[in-house]
Amino acid sequence: MPKPAIVILTGAGISAESGLSTFRSSNGLWNNHPVEDVATIEAFERNPEYVHDFYNELKPELNRAKPNAAHLAITRLQNEYPGEVHIITQNVDTLHEKAGSQNICHIHGQINQAVCLNCGQVLETFGDVNTETVCPHCQIQGMMKPNIVFFGENLLCMDKVDELLKNCGLFLSIGTSGVVFPAADFVRIAKICGAKTYEFNLEETSNNWYFDKHIYGKAGTTVPAFVDELLKEPSDNF
């Protein structure tokens, strides 16, 4: 009899120990590059070159990063837990993939993808993308956009996410400040649908009353320890 499904929401904090910046810490990404300059549709329409440059400069650092113990522990959980384990990540890095994880929903997009605004094709783009880039699918030039979900745009994979949240027995939130919606509302949905909800963070976040348990500390330490315990005796009600 399979155990209840586990859904794991990750944020920038899970990648911090891989050397990647988070967004809202003192030296966070948004402190040095205001959201309204690089992460809104208006910014992209106003100055596409500047927005392309931002993500082109970010790409090599994200692609050099290596998964840390937290990413690897989640892969171990997926391989050894006698039930389904799904990842919903807000991160545009591919550290979950590099750790060997599967069943990953990138709700905010991915750094190595671009979407053609003419034909809608999503393309793998490990090199730079800019206003000169020609879409290899429809051959139109200058209509490529980083496949990053800007503020005000719809999230990706939301049908799948909705189904996962409503059918999980355990919801883990790892390394997210819980201030950006709709991802910040996932814990509430999971909880009202009957899941146990645990939060892994360095500190209390704004969503704290929706969590049944808070596990404070660095994800690279707390997540492997939690996975060890869970795999020792997988429970039906956590």
Q: Would you tell me which residues interact with ligand APR (CB under 6 A)?
A: 11-13, 16-17, 22-25, 28, 90, 108, 175-177, 180, 200-203, 205, 218-219
Q: Which is nearer to ligand APR, 17 or 97 (CB)?
A: 17
Q: Which is nearer to ligand APR, 6 or 9 (CB)?
A: 9
Q: Which is nearer to ligand APR, 31 or 235 (CB)?
A: 31
Taking the C-alpha atoms of residue 92 and residue 29, their distance in angstroms, rounded to an integer, is: 13
Residue in the shown chain whose Cβ atom is closest to ligand APR: 13
Least distance from C-beta 219 to ligand APR, angstroms?
A: 4
Least distance from C-beta 200 to ligand APR, angstroms?
A: 6
Least distance from C-beta 237 to ligand APR, angstroms?
A: 26
Least distance from C-beta 141 to ligand APR, angstroms?
A: 28
**Does residue 96 carry a catalytic annotation?**
no
Query: Which sequence positions are flagged as catalytic?
Result: 108
